[in-house]
């Protein structure tokens, strides 16, 4: 009696995990493995477009990388820029909500996630129109001579980075808020009391204590930004294409599955390596 | 950067300080001088403005009007890090990401001092925790954290050390022990301590001077003995210990004494101990100053007769009685259990007597309940 | 409260007062601009939902209510919206059930393989959407399953599950374990304890997770684009029509979703404030 009860207790967590993990295995692990397999295929000689055979050609990776190294670099540079920009915008925002909002705290938190609810594509398109020739930004800037007649804001790398920064801002703000909110404000007062001015207090107390939020926020921003192609497609130009755009067109337009798979895999591997290095450096393991 | 060693020292002077938040006035036209080298306590219930006063001294809040001087320097608008003043925060506010050593060294490093080891180790010795230098704050017990918070402040040898309910989070036994230690450390380092507390016993144990605060102002200031023996207001009489306040009327004078009528019974008291403005008064007597005797036994001093014992609580070192008086009031009497006399029983007919010199008189228009409704141990953190 | 000015009270110099005020409020001013940045496109979208624009909603041509009166006026738009809602609801139900079970296992029990489980949950979140979408598509292709409605649902469940687990787990972690002990002490067996105490307490977390899952699913474009084939969803509709100008009806639907979700969140907050039990 006693024996069977403890046994079922031991089994219970596994039973709870089983359906979810079966699902994730079938539709997450298996596809990734399959993708790995696809990435080393080559076209069947004389076959139709989109027919490939397994040849374990690892050179696919080298070819794909060399061919698309520019987009590769751009993906990471844009993602890093967007992440840093989002951090710079989100940190004071999260700080203000955590420490200066008083009873408006919950309302402001809702406002942070609220833009989410308007489709992100609609908002991205809205940026395109706002920054466009007929929006309310460009004409005044031209009138005051801040930008020249020939300068445009849309179809630029700047617009792509701005769009990504915007789209992933809540992902940055929420974890930052969560870790800032856990800080006892008295520790910051204590720092001021112990002869640290505002900047030193930030550097020595607030920032180190909010590091878990910084790490989580930058990851949650960087990862989707590096794989994004919607912002580049809507706000960019042919010269601001990112890796995502290439993968998409390889899949759908050229039907070059092996290259698309190799690129996907390289992207994922690069992100995982960067993230691992970053977490090591930032010295925190608790992410979620 | 503040060079604390050569910074201004001297008395701390608050001049006509008011602090309001919108319509709410936390501190109302408060003036106060804290002499250099003293152990000074700001005592009051939560919401009385004592913490706000402390925060203004620390520079964490800015007064709406008024000025704060340290010696001859005006520090009213100086930032916290520009003042040679350090604080032991409520719940300590130790930096959770730094070791104990780095916590203590924090202030020294900010002031640009390169070799901190000697100073840090010295205060660690002083608080008797040198073996914890490399631990993180969360690995320490409450009492240990409290000492580290103290060490972190005094290592800077500030002109003024502020203690914000420093013992509030400790259990009773530890609190008693720390009270004695704090007092000892204050003498050892010779700094001015300003101690904010709602615990009258704590204030009386440690401070040379206590300022009792109520509703944003100072009710009375003086040595613990002064405040206890001769309170000026019902608030002080009730907040510091317990008092019996009996409605009465001054009938006349006899030499240095006043003759007072309490519900038809005459008593006398020293003129100097009356804070009344007219003939209507409350006569105040501390419960332990009363003596009880059975009807028919000899008495001396002031006498009130016609009472009977209503309630008896034996609490070891003393016995507490509630004595019902003919005019309907119940008086509290504490009798030491040191004379081998068996305690009185419920229902005994008794008279109450006391030495006239222990009587004090308050204004007759006072609220006799003032200061009683606040339970002194009810710690309110966000005052 | 009016007080007569008393010349003997020392006052604080205006300059010191101003610089302090500025120091204290600088971050608030900054936050104000941050929020403005966040809401510019939302406001723009809302404003242009009233544009009497004809086919392409690019420049302001005059105020009208007719887009709101006829949100299905643009061809295909309500089919797309219907698909998005259907996919969102089904994906939400499945991901919430699977995710909550996993969250209880990980959040409540210590068992062998717990950290591996945590990693498996973290991985889909750390995988770029495009890789998730592309890999699933290639799997479907291998098994000769045509992209469409159900492949899209499956794809959405994959990325929603992790978010559900994280949200519910956080709620479970914040529960006071003494509440369950108290229930057992008061003669509730394991199942009754779960049913009467644990589940009601975790319910707000599950509701939040479901809401999150729905909004992630509803708003997803990249993964959907890979796995939906010819099926149109609302984000796909917007993406496709972006090239030639989006009909104002899309703005109507976007704005309506915004206000609806805002109302749900605020209502949820009010309810949770009333029934606050955990610390």
> In chain A, positions 109-128, which contact chain C (CB-CB < 8 Å)?
110-128
Residue C205: partners with Cβ closer than 8 Å, 6 or more residues away? C167, C168, C170, C171, C172
Average pLDDT of the residues of chain B? 88
Q: What is the DSSP string of chain A?
A: -HHHHHHHHHHHHHHHHHHHHHHHIIIIIHHHHHHHHHTTEEEPTT--TT-EEE---THHHHHHHHHTHHHHHHHHHHHHHHHHHHHHHHHHHHHIIIII-GGGHHHHHHHHHGGGGS-HHHHHHHHHHHSSTTSSSHHHHHHTTSS-TT--SSSSHHHHHHHHHHHHHHHHHHHHHHHHHTS-HHHHHHHHHTT--HHHHIIIIIHHHTHHHHHHHHHHHHHHHHH--HHHHHH--GGG--HHHHHHHHHHTS--HHHHHHHHHHHHHHHHHHHHHHHHHHT-----
Q: Is the pLDDT of residue B4 over 60?
A: no
Q: What is the mean pLDDT of chain C?
A: 86
Report the chain A residue with the minimal C-alpha distance to residue C39. Answer: A115
| Helix C149-173 × helix C199-219 angle, to 10° | 140
User: Do residues A274 and C128 make contact, with C-beta atoms less than 8 angstroms apart?
Assistant: no
- Nearest Cα to A13, choosing from B354, B266, C106? C106
- Out of A217-226, A251-260, B85-94, C83-92, least confident range: A251-260
Q: Which of C104, C111, C120 sits opposite A21 (nearest CB)?
A: C120
Q: Is the pLDDT of residue B216 over 70?
A: yes
Subunits that touch chain C (at least 3 Cβ pairs < 8 angstroms)? Answer: A, B
Q: Which chains touch B (3 or more CB pairs under 8 A)?
A: A, C
Tell me which residue in B80, B91, B153 faces A186 most closely, judged by beta carbons. B91
Is the pLDDT at B377 greater than 60? The verdict is: no
What residues does each domain of chain B span?
12-229, 242-363
A to C CB pairs, distance under 8 Å: 240
Average pLDDT value for residue range B174-189: 85
pLDDT value, residue B118? 94
Q: Does C25 touch chain B (CB under 8 A)?
A: no
Does the domain spanning C73-274 belong to CATH 1.10.3720.10?
A: yes
The per-residue pLDDT for C12 is: 78
Question: What ranges do the domains of chain C cover?
Answer: 73-274
What integer pLDDT is reported at residue A93 of this predicted model?
A: 93
Sign of CA dihedral C122, C124, C125, C128: positive
The confidence score (pLDDT) of residue C7 equals 66
Residue B346 has pLDDT above 50, yes or no: yes
**Nearest alpha-carbon partner for B49 in B25, B33, B81, B13:** B25
Q: How many CB pairs under 8 A join B and C?
A: 28
Candidates B58, B89, B107; nearest CB to A195: B107
- Reply yes or no on whether the pLDDT at B253 is more than 80: yes
The whole-number pLDDT of residue B31 equals 93
Mean predicted confidence (pLDDT) in C135-150: 89
pLDDT at C60: 80
CA distance A203 to A181: 17
The verdict on A269 touching C (C-beta cutoff 8 Å) is: no
- C10 and B67 within 8 Å at the Cβ level: the answer is yes
Residues C182-200: tens digit of each pLDDT = 888 888 887 888 888 888 8
Token pair listed for B173: 């036994």
Please tell me if residue A155 touches chain C, with a CB cutoff of 8 Å.
no
Highest-pLDDT range among C11-15, C43-47, C177-181: C43-47
For B48-73, write each residue's pLDDT tens digit: 999 999 999 999 988 999 999 998 89
Instruction: Find the residue in B nearest to A183 (Cα).
Output: B96
* Disruptive mutation site among C3, C10, C21, C25 for chain B (greatest number of B CBs within 10 Å): C10
pLDDT of residue B371 exceeding 50: yes
Q: Please tell me the distance from the alpha carbon of residue B150 to that of residue B158, in angstroms, as a whole number.
A: 12
Between these two residues, C254 and C53, which has the higher pLDDT value?
C254
Q: Which residues of chain A have pLDDT under 50?
A: 1-4, 285-288
Is residue B1 scored above 50 in pLDDT?
no
Judged against a pLDDT cut of 60, whether residue B2 lies above it is answered with no
Q: What is the pLDDT of residues B136-178, one digit of tens each?
A: 999 999 889 999 999 999 999 899 999 998 887 778 888 888 8
CATH topology of domain B242-363: OB fold (Dihydrolipoamide Acetyltransferase, E2P) (2.40.50)
- A212 interfacial to chain C (CB closer than 8 Å): no
**Choice between C69 and C2, residue whose per-residue pLDDT is larger:** C69
Give the mean pLDDT of C69-83. 86
Q: Does A182 touch chain B (CB under 8 A)?
A: no
Whether pLDDT at C107 is above 80: yes
Which residue is closest to A182 within chain B, CA to CA? Answer: B96
Report domain B12-229's class. alpha beta
Q: How far is CA B95 from CA A31, A99, A208, B107, in A?
A: 47, 17, 10, 12
The arithmetic mean of pLDDT across residues C14-21, rounded, is: 80
Q: Is the ipTM value over 0.90, yes or no?
A: no
Residue A30's pLDDT is 92
pLDDT of residue B7: 53
Higher pLDDT, B236 or A111: B236
| Residue of chain B minimizing CA distance to A184 | B93
pLDDT at A38: 86
The number of C-beta contacts closer than 8 angstroms across A and B is 67
Among chain C residues, the shortest Cα distance to B20 is held by C1
Q: What is the pLDDT of residue B317?
A: 86
Q: What is the least distance, in Å, from the CA of A244 to any CA of chain B? A: 40
Query: Would you say residue B353 has pLDDT above 50?
Result: yes
Res B362 pLDDT > 80: yes
- Supply the pLDDT for residue B221: 94
**How many CA within 13 A on the CB side of residue B300?**
2
User: Using an 8 Å Cβ cutoff, are A231 and A164 in contact?
Assistant: yes
Interface of C with A in 82-121 (CB under 8 A): 98-99, 101-102, 104-106, 108-109, 111, 114, 117-118, 120-121
pLDDT at site A8? 61
| Domain spanning A58-282: CATH 2.70.98.10 | no
Mean pLDDT of C83-94: 95
């Amino acid at each position: 009696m006693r024996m069977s009860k403890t046994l079922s207790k031991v089994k219970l967590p596994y039973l709870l995990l089983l359906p979810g993990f079966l699902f994730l295995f079938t539709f997450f692990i298996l596809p990734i493995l399959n993708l790995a397999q696809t990435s080393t295929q080559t076209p069947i000689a004389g076959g139709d477009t989109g027919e490939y055979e397994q040849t374990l050609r690892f050179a696919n990776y080298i070819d794909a990388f060399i061919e698309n190294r520019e987009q590769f670099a751009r993906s990471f540079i844009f993602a890093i820029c967007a992440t840093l920009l989002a951090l710079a915008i989100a940190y004071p925002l999260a700080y203000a909500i955590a420490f200066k909002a008083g009873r408006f705290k919950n309302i402001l938190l809702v406002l942070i996630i609220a833009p989410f609810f308007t489709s992100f594509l609609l908002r991205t398109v809205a940026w395109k129109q706002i920054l466009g020739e007929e929006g309310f930004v460009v004409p005044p800037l031209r009138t005051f001579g801040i930008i020249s007649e020939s300068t445009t804001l849309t179809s630029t790398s700047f617009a792509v980075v701005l769009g990504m920064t915007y789209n992933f801002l809540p992902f940055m703000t929420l974890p930052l808020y969560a870790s800032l909110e856990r800080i006892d404000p008295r520790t910051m007062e204590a720092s001021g009391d112990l002869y640290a001015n505002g900047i030193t207090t930030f550097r020595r107390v607030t920032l180190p204590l909010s590091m878990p939020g910084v790490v989580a926020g930058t990851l949650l921003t960087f990862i989707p930004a590096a794989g994004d192609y919607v912002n580049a497609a809507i706000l960019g130009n042919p010269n601001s294409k990112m890796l995502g755009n290439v993968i998409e067109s390889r899949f759908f337009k050229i039907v070059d599955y092996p290259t698309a798979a190799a690129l996907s895999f390289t992207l994922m591997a690069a992100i995982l390596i960067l993230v691992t290095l970053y977490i090591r450096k930032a010295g925190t393991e608790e992410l979620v | 950067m503040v060079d604390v060693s050569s910074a201004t020292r001297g008395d701390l002077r608050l001049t006509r300080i008011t602090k309001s938040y919108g319509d709410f006035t936390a501190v109302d036209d408060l003036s106060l001088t804290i002499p250099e080298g003293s152990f000074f306590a700001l005592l009051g219930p939560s919401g009385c403005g004592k913490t706000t006063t402390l925060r203004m001294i620390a520079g964490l809040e800015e007064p709406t009007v008024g000025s704060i001087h340290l010696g001859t320097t005006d520090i009213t608008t100086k930032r916290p890090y520009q003042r040679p003043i350090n604080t032991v925060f409520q719940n300590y506010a130790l930096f959770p990401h730094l070791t104990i050593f780095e916590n203590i060294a924090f202030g020294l490093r900010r002031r640009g001092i390169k070799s901190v080891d000697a100073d840090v180790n010295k205060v660690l010795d002083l608080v008797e925790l040198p073996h914890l230098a490399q631990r993180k704050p969360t690995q320490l017990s409450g009492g240990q954290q409290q000492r580290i918070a103290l060490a972190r402040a005094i290592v800077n040898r500030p002109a003024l050390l502020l203690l914000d309910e420093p013992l509030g989070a400790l259990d009773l036994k530890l609190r008693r022990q720390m009270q004695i230690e704090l007092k000892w450390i204050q003498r050892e380092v010779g700094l001015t301590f300003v101690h904010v507390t709602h615990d009258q016993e704590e204030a009386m144990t440690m401070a040379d001077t206590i300022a009792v605060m109520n509703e944003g102002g100072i009710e009375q200031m003086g040595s613990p003995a002064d405040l206890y023996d001769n309170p000026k207001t019902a608030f002080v009489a009730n907040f510091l210990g317990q008092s019996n306040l009996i409605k009465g009327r001054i009938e006349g004078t006899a030499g240095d004494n006043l003759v007072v009528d309490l519900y038809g019974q005459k008593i006398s008291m020293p003129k100097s101990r009356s804070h009344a403005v007219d003939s209507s008064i409350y006569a105040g007597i501390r419960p332990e100053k009363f003596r009880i005797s059975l009807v028919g036994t000899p008495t001396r001093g002031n006498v009130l007769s016609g009472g009977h014992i209503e309630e008896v609580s034996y609490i070891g070192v003393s016995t507490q009685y509630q004595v019902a008086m003919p005019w309907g009031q119940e008086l509290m009497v504490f009798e030491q259990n040191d004379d081998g006399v068996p305690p009185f029983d419920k229902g005994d007919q008794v008279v109450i007597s006391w030495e006239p010199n222990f009587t004090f008189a308050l204004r007759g228009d006072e609220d006799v309940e003032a200061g009683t409704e606040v339970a002194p141990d009810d710690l309110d953190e966000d005052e | 409260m009016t007080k007569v000015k008393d010349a003997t009270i020392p006052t604080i110099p205006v300059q010191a007062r101003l610089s302090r005020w500025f120091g204290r409020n600088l971050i608030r001013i900054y936050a104000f601009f941050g929020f403005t940045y966040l809401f510019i496109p939302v406001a723009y979208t809302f404003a242009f939902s009233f544009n009497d624009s004809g086919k392409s909603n690019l420049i302001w041509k005059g105020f009208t209510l007719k887009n709101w009166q006829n949100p299905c006026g643009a061809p295909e738009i309500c089919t797309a919206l219907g698909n998005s809602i259907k996919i969102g609801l089904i994906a939400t139900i499945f991901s919430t059930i699977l995710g909550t079970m996993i969250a209880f296992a990980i959040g409540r029990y210590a068992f062998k393989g717990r950290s591996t489980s945590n990693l498996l949950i973290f991985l889909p979140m750390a995988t770029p959407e495009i890789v998730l979408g592309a890999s699933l598509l290639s799997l479907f292709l291998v098994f000769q399953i045509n992209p469409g409605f159900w492949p899209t649902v499956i794809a959405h469940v994959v990325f929603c599950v992790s978010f559900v687990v994280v949200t519910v787990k956080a709620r479970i972690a914040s529960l006071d374990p003494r509440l369950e002990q108290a229930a057992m002490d008061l003669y509730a067996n394991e199942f009754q304890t779960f049913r009467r105490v644990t589940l009601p307490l975790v319910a707000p977390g599950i509701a939040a997770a479901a809401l999150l899952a729905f909004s992630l699913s509803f708003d997803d474009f990249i993964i959907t684009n890979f796995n939906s084939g010819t099926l149109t969803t609302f984000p796909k509709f917007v993406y496709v029509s972006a090239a030639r100008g989006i009909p104002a009806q899309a703005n109507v639907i976007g704005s309506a979703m915004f206000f609806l979700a805002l109302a749900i969140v605020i209502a949820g907050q009010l309810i949770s404030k009333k029934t606050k039990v955990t610390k």
